[in-house]
Structure 1
Amino acid sequence: MSAINSLAEQDFEQLSIQRVENGLASIIAVHDTTLGPALGGVRIRRYESDDAAAADAMRLARAMTYKAALAGLALGGGKSVINADPRSQKTRALLEAHGRHIGLLGGRYIPGADMGTGPADLKVIAEHAPRVSSDGRDPSPYTARGVVASISAVADHLGRDGVEGLRVAVQGAGNVGLGIVELLSAAGATVLVADPDPERVRLAVEGFGAQASSLDEILHTDVDVVCPAGPGLVIDERAVDRLKAVALVGAANNMLASQAAGDALTARGIVHVPDFVSNAGGLISCDAEVNGLTDFVGKVDRIADVVMEILDRARVTGVDTSTAAIELAERRIAEVRAA
Structure 2
Amino acid sequence: MQLQQSSTFEMMEREEFEEIVFFHDSSTGLKAIVAIHDTTLGPALGGTRMWSYRSELDALRDVMRLAKAMTYKAAAAGLSFGGGKGVIIGDPKRDKSEVLLRSYGRYVQSLGGRFITAEDVGTTLEDMRVLMSETRHVAGTSIDPSPFTAYGVYCGIKACLEYVFGDESLDGVHVAVQGVGKVGGELVRLLLESGARVTVTDVDASRVRRFIELGASYVEPGKIYSVQCDVFSPCALGGVLNDSTVKRLRCSIVAGAANNQLESESVAERLSNLGILYAPDYIINAGGLIAVAKEYECARRGREPSTEEIMRDVERIRDRLEEVFRMSESSMGEEMVITTSRAAEMLARRRIEEARRLKGIYLPD
If the length of structure 2 is used for normalisation, what is the TM-score? 0.88
Quickly say closer, same or farther: Cα 1:196–1:57, change in 2 above 3 A: same
Q: Distance in 2 between matches of 1:220 and 1:19?
A: 46
Residue 248 of structure 2 corresponds to 242
Residue 85 of structure 1 corresponds to 91
Q: Name the aligned partner's letter for residue 147 of structure 1.
A: V
Residue 361 of structure 2 corresponds to none
Alignment match of 2:328 (pick from 308, 314, 319)? 314
Q: What secondary structure sits across from 1:89 in the alignment?
A: coil
Deviation at 1:260, TM superposition (A): 1.9
Q: Which residues of structure 2 form unaligned runs of 5+? A: 299-304, 332-336, 359-365
CA contact under 8 A between 2:125 and 2:141: conserved in structure 1?
yes
Q: What secondary structure sits across from 1:327 in the alignment?
A: helix
Deviation at 1:240, TM superposition (A): 1.1
Quickly say closer, same or farther: Cα 1:91–1:200, change in 2 above 3 A: farther
Residue 162 of structure 1 corresponds to 169
Alignment match of 1:71 (pick from 74, 77, 100)? 77
For 1:156-305, what aligned pairs fall within 5 Å after superposition?
Answer: 156-159=162-165, 160-206=167-213, 208-292=214-298, 293-294=305-306, 295-305=309-319
For 1:90-129, what aligned pairs fall within 5 Å after superposition?
Answer: 90-129=96-135
Residues 1-51 of structure 1, C-alpha deviation per residue, up to 9 Å, x if partnerless?
A: 355531011101111222357756312111111011111112223333222
Q: Distance in 2 between matches of 1:80 and 1:325?
A: 24
1:8 aligns with 2:6: no
- Greater Rg over alpha carbons, structure: 2
Q: Name the aligned partner's letter for residue 12 of structure 2.
A: L
Quickly say closer, same or farther: Cα 1:228–1:24, change in 2 above 3 A: farther
Q: Distance in 2 between matches of 1:209 and 1:287?
A: 35
Q: Name the aligned partner's letter for residue 148 of structure 2.
A: Y
CA contact under 8 A between 2:179 and 2:234: conserved in structure 1?
yes
Q: Name the aligned partner's letter for residue 118 of structure 1.
A: T
Q: What secondary structure sits across from 1:7 in the alignment?
A: helix
CA contact under 8 A between 1:107 and 1:129: conserved in structure 2?
no
Residue 331 of structure 1 corresponds to 350
CA contact under 8 A between 2:69 and 2:282: conserved in structure 1?
yes
CA contact under 8 A between 2:30 and 2:103: conserved in structure 1?
no
Q: Which residues of structure 1 form unaligned runs of 5+? A: none
Residues 114-141 of structure 1, C-alpha deviation per residue, up to 9 Å, x if partnerless?
A: 2222211110111222321121111000
Q: Name the aligned partner's letter for residue 347 of structure 2.
A: L
Deviation at 1:104, TM superposition (A): 2.2
Tell me the percent identity. Answer: 41
Q: Name the aligned partner's letter for residue 31 of structure 2.
A: A
Q: Name the aligned partner's letter for residue 316 of structure 1.
A: S
Quickly say closer, same or farther: Cα 1:80–1:203, change in 2 above 3 A: farther
For 1:133-172, what aligned pairs fall within 5 Å after superposition?
Answer: 133-159=139-165, 160-172=167-179
Quickly say closer, same or farther: Cα 1:238–1:211, change in 2 above 3 A: same
CA contact under 8 A between 2:328 and 2:339: conserved in structure 1?
yes
CA contact under 8 A between 2:173 and 2:197: conserved in structure 1?
yes
Q: Distance in 2 between matches of 1:102 and 1:237?
A: 40
RMSD value over aligned CA atoms? 1.8
Q: Distance in 2 between matches of 1:3 and 1:257?
A: 23
CA contact under 8 A between 1:66 and 1:329: conserved in structure 2?
yes
Q: Distance in 2 between matches of 1:86 and 1:235?
A: 28
